[in-house]
């Protein structure tokens, strides 16, 4: 039996990238998927492609930084499918593109954009989905976090703050809603190489090959992640296969979080 057969999953930020990969993976495992994001131009084709291959999906446009839109999103999802079993909090600020710099260099707008989406939006999504999960008799929340929440990464402080807030919220929900049969976990995502279809989102002039080489050195495996790696981990936490796991933070990073960036001492005669 498919891992998510009969489940309804709401995946925020699922019009592209990791979110889209999660929506596609969940649909393949039998879930009815609510695809959502700000871009109708990107969102509608995602839902249409899933429907075209026989899956259940609907696209609902939303800006998760807007409380009223998030409430309407949750209500519309229940109107469409009758319940919400799974919430994937994937939508968030792109820290690299939106707020790169040390704190004294950041504008209030750049900092605020991270907090509005990464903190306020996260709160609205949980606030308005949780009552529907309680009504359904339980559910699973999967938060797509980042190594930046637990490790210092140069010049992305605002993004790191938003992801650290996600980690705290994830644990708190796990504790406060355990009695409602609701689990909450997060994925600490490491470096994931954008797929070719997403290359247009990268900063102009970025030395992709050089950056890839350097980022591979930070992992134990010497490889970068793919969207499917994150989708597979999200599937595990969303499904009943992880029924005894809650309040956890799972690194999906090729071992980067367990590696200290010391030099190879053999190069120095040791």
Name 5's Cβ contacts closer than 8 Å, sequence gap at least 6: 29, 30, 31
Mean pLDDT (the chain) is 91
Give the distance, in angstroms, between the CA of residue 200 and the centroid of all CA atoms in the same chain: 20
What are the residue ranges spanned by the domains of the chain? Answer: 8-190+225-252
Query: pLDDT per residue over 84-93, tens digit each?
Result: 999 999 998 6
To the query of whether residue 227 is one of the catalytic residues in this protein, the response is: no
Query: pLDDT per residue over 224-260, tens digit each?
Result: 999 999 999 999 999 999 999 999 999 999 999 998 8
What is the pLDDT, as a whole number, of residue 98? Answer: 55
Q: What percent of the chain has pLDDT over 70?
A: 91
Answer CATH for 8-190+225-252 from 3.40.50.720, 3.30.565.10, 3.80.10.10, 3.10.20.740: 3.40.50.720
Question: pLDDT tier at 193 (50, 70, 90 boundaries)?
Answer: confident
Question: What's the DSSP call for residue 258?
Answer: G
Question: pLDDT tier at 96 (50, 70, 90 boundaries)?
Answer: very low
CA-to-CA dists, residue 164 to 66, 102, 172, 178, 237, angstroms? 21, 17, 13, 21, 19
Instruction: Give the Cα separation of 230 and 90 in Å (integer).
Output: 11
What is the pLDDT, as a whole number, of residue 265? Answer: 65
Q: Catalytic: which of 128, 159, 177, 227?
A: 159
Closest CA to 121 of 83, 154, 155, 74: 74
Query: pLDDT per residue over 16-56, tens digit each?
Result: 999 999 999 999 999 999 999 999 999 999 999 999 999 99
What is the pLDDT, as a whole number, of residue 52? Answer: 97
**DSSP state string for 176-236:** HTGGGTEEEEEEEE--BPPPGGGGGGSPTT--HHHHHHHHHTTSSSS--B-HHHHHHHHHH
Q: Residues 125, 87: contact at Cβ < 8 Å?
A: yes
What is the pLDDT, as a whole number, of residue 202? Answer: 59
**Quick one: 37 exposed, middle or buried, by C-beta within 10 A (0-12, 13-18, 19+)?**
buried
């Amino acid at each position: 039996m498919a891992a998510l057969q009969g489940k309804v999953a709401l995946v925020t930020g699922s019009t592209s990238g990791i979110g889209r990969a999660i929506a596609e993976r969940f649909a393949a495992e039998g879930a009815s998927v609510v695809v959502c994001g700000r871009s109708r131009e990107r969102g509608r084709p995602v839902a249409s492609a899933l429907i075209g291959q026989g899956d259940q999906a609907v696209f609902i446009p939303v800006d998760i930084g807007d409380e009223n839109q998030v409430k309407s999103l949750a209500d519309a999802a229940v109107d469409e499918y009758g319940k919400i079993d799974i919430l994937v909090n994937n939508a968030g600020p792109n820290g690299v593109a939106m707020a790169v710099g040390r704190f004294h260099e950041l504008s209030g707008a750049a900092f605020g954009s991270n907090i509005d989406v990464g903190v306020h939006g996260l709160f609205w999504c949980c606030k308005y989905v949780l009552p529907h999960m309680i009504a359904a008799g339980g559910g699973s929340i999967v938060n797509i976090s980042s190594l930046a929440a637990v490790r210092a990464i140069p010049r992305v402080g605002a993004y790191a703050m938003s992801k650290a807030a996600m980690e705290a919220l994830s644990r708190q929900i796990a504790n406060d809603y355990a009695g409602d049969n609701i689990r909450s976990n997060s994925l600490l995502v490491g470096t994931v190489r954008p797929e070719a279809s997403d290359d247009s989102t990268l900063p102009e002039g970025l030395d992709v090959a050089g950056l890839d080489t350097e980022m591979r050195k930070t992992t134990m495996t010497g490889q970068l992640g793919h969207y499917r790696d994150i989708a597979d981990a999200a599937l595990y936490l969303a499904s009943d296969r992880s029924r005894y796991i809650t309040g956890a933070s799972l690194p999906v990073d090729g071992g980067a979080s367990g590696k200290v960036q010391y030099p190879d001492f053999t190069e120095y005669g040791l």
